Amino acid sequence: MAHFVIVGGGQAGSSLVAKLRSCGFDGDITLIGAEAVPPYQRPPLSKAYLLGEMDEPRLYLRPAEYYADNAITLRTGTRVVAIDPAAQTLTLEGGEEMTYDALALTTGSHPRMLPAAIGGDLEGVYTVRDLQDADAMAPEFVQGRRVLIIGGGYIGLEAAAVAAKKGLHVTLVEMADRILQRVACPETSDYFRALHREHGVDIREGIGLDRLLGDDHVTGARLADGSTLEVDFAIVGVGITPASILAESAGLMIDNGIATDLHGRTSDPHIWAAGDCASFEFNGTRIRLESVGNAIDQAEVVAQNMMGGDVPYHAKPWFWSDQFDCKLQIAGLNAGYDAVHVRRGEHGGQSHWYYRAGQLVAVDAMNDPRDYMVGKRLIEAGKSPDPTLIIDPATDMKALLRA
C-alpha cells in the first residue's frame, strides 16, 4: 500500500491530506507538523486572536478527531531534519526514519528577524507568525503601554490596529518612502495611512530603525534620523522567507523557494511542494504567493497529481487584510502596473483598479465587497473595462461582466 507523507502542518498541508482522501486515495497518509497543535488558521493570529475575539480551538482548520476519523496519521511536535530522495526516506528529529512513496513539502515560511547586533535578540521583541508567537506577546497588550511596530506591510499594520484598539500607544516605522510600498499603489497607502492616524497610530515613513535599546529587555529604540523612543515591547513585521532549507539540503532545485513545475512537482519526481514555500511559473515569471487562497488551491492540485492526475495549477491570486473597521480585499497581482483608477463605492467604500498597458491586472477594494467580486471575475475572465466606466459612480458594475 502506498505511503504519502506531507511535511508541514499548516493550511497547505491540511488541505492536501483532506483532498487526497476526498479524491479516493486509500493508501497511508502521514501529516507531520513541527508545532504541538493540529493545523490552524494563521491570518487571525494578528487580528481576532490577538484581540481576544477568537480562542484557540476556533483556529483549528479541522477538529483534531478529523485526522483519525479519516485514517490520517497526524504527527504534531515533530521535526523532519533530513530527506534522502534516492532512498525515499525521511529522518525525524531523534533519529527515526520513515519511508515514503510520494512526499509533499508544505513547510510554509519564516519571518525575517532583526539582527542581534541591533537588538533583535532582546526580550520583548516579537514576530507574528505562529500560535506560540501570538501567545507570547498577548500579555503585552495592556492599555497605556508603548509598542513599536517595525515594518509597514500588512502584518505590521494589522498588529498596529490591534494595539491601537486595545488602547496602547503605537508607533510604526517604515524605512521605505511609504507604507505598503512593496505591495500596493500610493492611493492604497494613503487610505491606510489616514485610517491609522485617525485611530492614533504614529506612522513614520522614510525612517529606518538604527537599533533597539536595552540590556536584556527592550526599553527603547533609536531611529535612523537620530530620534529615540521609549517602548515597552516591539513587533517586527519586515517580511518572510520561504522555508526551503530542508529541500535545499536534499538537493532539490531552489528558485525563490522550492521550484515546482505547473503540476506542483519539484526537481525530484517523487517530491512535490505547495504553499508559501513553493514557487511556480505565472505569466512568464516565477513567483510565490503568500496567501491562504494559494495554499489551499495549490495543495489541492498537488494532491490530485500525487495520485497520478495531470492537473495544471492556474493561480487566481486573492488576498485580504482586516484593519480597524476596514476589510481590504485584493484580487490579481499588480506587478508592473502603469495606471491606477479610483472608484468611490457605496457607504464609504473605495476601490483601486490597476492597469498595465490597458489590461486590468488587480483591484484593491476597501469595504467594497461587490466591486471586489466584480473585479476578481473580470481579471479571471481576461476582461478590461474602459477606466472611464470604472470611475463613473453611475456605472452598473455587474453589467461589465456581460460586456
Distance (Å) of CA 270 to CA 3, 92, 248, 277, 331 = 12, 19, 15, 17, 33
Q: Are residues 87 and 100 in the same domain?
A: yes
Q: Are residues 51 and 102 in the same domain?
A: yes
Q: Are residues 10 and 73 in the same domain?
A: yes
Q: Are residues 38 and 23 in the same domain?
A: yes
Q: Interior CA angle at 229 toward 224 and 235, to 5°?
A: 85
Q: Are residues 390 and 357 in the same domain?
A: yes
Position 359 in a domain: yes
Q: Are residues 106 and 255 in the same domain?
A: yes
In the structure grid, which three cell numbers stand for residue 303, read together? 494532491
Q: What is the pLDDT of residue 348?
A: 86
Share of the chain above pLDDT 70, in %: 100
Position 135 in a domain: yes
Position 262 in a domain: yes
Q: Are residues 139 and 228 in the same domain?
A: yes
pLDDT mean across residues, the chain: 96
Q: Are residues 156 and 200 in the same domain?
A: yes
Position 312 in a domain: no
CATH of the domain at 393: 3.30.390.30
- The pLDDT tens digits for 375-386 are 999 999 999 999
- The pLDDT tens digits for 85-120 are 999 999 999 999 999 999 999 999 999 999 999 999
Of 372, 391, 378, 379, nearest to 329 by C-alpha is: 372
In the structure grid, which three cell numbers stand for residue 15, read together? 488541505
Is pLDDT at 1 greater than 90 in this prediction? no
Residue 215's domain comprises 113-236
Residue pair 30/5 in contact by the 8 Å Cβ criterion: yes
Is pLDDT at 321 greater than 80 in this prediction? yes
Position 292 in a domain: yes
CATH of the domain at 247: 3.50.50.60
Q: Which of 42-51, 68-77, 272-281 has the lowest mean pLDDT?
A: 42-51
Q: Are residues 117 and 227 in the same domain?
A: yes
Q: Are residues 188 and 275 in the same domain?
A: no
Residues in a beta bridge with 286: 281
Residues in a beta bridge with 205: 174
* The one-letter amino acid at 196: H
- Where does the pLDDT of residue 338 fall: very low under 50, low under 70, confident under 90, or very high at 90 and above? very high
In the structure grid, which three cell numbers stand for residue 363, read together? 483591484
Average pLDDT value for residue range 333-357: 94
Position 318 in a domain: no
Q: Strand 350-356's sheet: what is its strand order?
A: 318-323, 326-332, 359-366, 350-356, 339-344
Distance (Å) of CA 113 to CA 23, 64, 118, 122 = 40, 31, 11, 12
Q: Are residues 185 and 80 in the same domain?
A: no
Q: What is the pLDDT of residue 346?
A: 79
Q: What is the pLDDT of residue 64?
A: 87
Is pLDDT at 188 greater than 80 in this prediction? yes
Which of 205, 236, 267 is the last residue in one of the domains? 236
Which of 179, 214, 236 is the last residue in one of the domains? 236
Of 25, 23, 31, 36, nearest to 5 by C-alpha is: 31
Q: Are residues 219 and 128 in the same domain?
A: yes
Q: What is the pLDDT of residue 17?
A: 98
